[in-house]
Amino acid sequence: MGRLLKITLVGALLALLGERIANFCHRLRVFTEVDPVDLLSCQLLKGIEAGSEDIDVLPNGLAFISTGLKYPSIHCFSPDKPGAILLLDLNSGSVSPSPLRISKGFDSSSFNPHGISTYIDDKDGAVYLFVVNHPQLQSIIEIFKFVEEENSLVHLKSIKHELLNSVNDIIAVGPESFYATNDHYFSNNHLKAVEHYLGLPWTGVVYYSPGDVRHVFTGFYFANGITISNDKKYIYAADFMGHTINVFMKNKDWSLSPVKSVYVDTLVDNLSVDPVTGDIWTGGHPNGYKLFSYNPEDVPGSEVVRVQNIHSDHPIITKVYVNNGSVIQATSCASVYKGQLLIGTVFHRALLCPWE
């Protein structure tokens, strides 16, 4: 090979690498610092020190909270304690959630809950809780029935499928069916890392029902939170590394048609919908580097973002609460219920604030 050609090739390779690294840093918002926005009279929930990754609030104000997530590259303050589902009644004025008992026969010692979703049966009002579980870092969807009188969850079913290889979050759409996001294309941990360095938009949404499992969307850098509009016509899904909330029309055959992608200037984690206004709420990460490379001297911050009128030409995007990590680190979700804003985190505390 001629010397000039070699130099050109090396130059091209370095340029490509440089471009990939610059892209990666941009997607992770490596250099972002926070500009605090405070809310008054917030209270930390009692007993939550190791995460409140996902929260789902029933129409009657009962909030389910998943805690104790263990996930590669993510810090954990309780590495030896199994995860749990906590319950808080948002009508009670209490800030002390209580753990739900799980029925015998379910292996609670390896319980590692991540995204959760409730489903209410139209026929009898029964409440089901769908939980993304990562025992030994696998991805399993657990379906429980919630028994309010006994403060317990009865385990009904575990679902594993090759298309559900790296599940992050789910939204239940039937007693046994759901949409799930996979946050990685690969299942192998090394390949997962490579996938993100290269910036491959290969993750997306899977539809599951017994007998019909398929990819319904691919094209996110890192698919994360997913939820459904109040009228049940639209699915909203977060692209964490793409910094977007994506709107899909849900079709009769459960396929999804992309409607729009809204840029929200944060690493978008979970999504929830205001049951009254239809606004979308999310917990976002200001800086992905601080999230994935935990340093107690330079902790990750938190951002709570509200998107109003997402279906209009001019959605209004507001950072409602921004904290540098002094109060809560690594927000992952936010839900509103009757004048209250409940904020969850990947591995830290949970915060309840009065809201309008």
Phi, psi of 254 (to 5 degrees): 75, 0
Q: Which is nearer to ligand NAG, 19 or 33 (CB)?
A: 33
Cβ atoms of 45 and 345 closer than 8 Å:
no
Nearest distance in Å: CB 300, ligand NAG: 11
Cβ atoms of 50 and 330 closer than 8 Å:
no
Long-range Cβ contacts of 237-241 (<8 Å, 24+ apart) = 237/181, 237/205, 237/271, 238/181, 238/268, 238/269, 238/270, 238/271, 238/282, 239/268, 240/183, 240/267, 240/268, 240/269, 240/285, 240/288, 241/27, 241/28, 241/196, 241/199, 241/267, 241/288
Residues with Cβ within 8 Å of residue 306, at least 6 apart in sequence: 279, 280, 281, 317, 318, 320
Q: Which is nearer to ligand NAG, 33 or 148 (CB)?
A: 33
- Which residues between 23 and 62 bind ligand NAG (CB under 6 A)? 36
Interface with ligand NAG (CB under 6 A), residue total 3
Cβ atoms of 243 and 213 closer than 8 Å:
no
Q: Which is nearer to ligand NAG, 37 or 249 (CB)?
A: 37
DSSP letter at 348? S
| Binding-residue pattern over the window 149 to 168 for ligand NAG, x denoting contact by CB under 6 A | --------------------
- How would you write 8-65 as a 3-class SS string? HHHHHHHHHHHHHHHHHHHHHCCCCCCCCECCCCCEECCCCCCCCCCEEECCCCEEEE
Q: Which of 26, 75, 114, 243 is catalytic?
A: 114
Tokens linked to 8: 């050109």
Q: Which is nearer to ligand NAG, 138 or 324 (CB)?
A: 324
> In 10 A of CB 61, how many CB atoms?
14
User: In the complex, which residue's CB is closest to ligand NAG?
Assistant: 324
Q: Which is nearer to ligand NAG, 129 or 322 (CB)?
A: 322
Q: Which is nearer to ligand NAG, 58 or 299 (CB)?
A: 299
114 catalytic per annotation:
yes
The string of DSSP codes covering 170-220 is EEE-SSS-EEEEES-S-SSHHHHHHHHHHT---EEEEEEETTEEEEEEEEE
- Is 324 a binder of ligand NAG (CB under 6 A)? yes
Pairing of strands 113-120, 267-273: unpaired
State the amino acid at position 335 in one-letter form: S
Query: What 3-state DSSP class applies to 288?
Result: helix
Q: Which is nearer to ligand NAG, 318 or 326 (CB)?
A: 326
Which residue ranges make up the site for ligand NAG (CB under 6 A)?
36, 324, 326
Positions marked active-site: 114
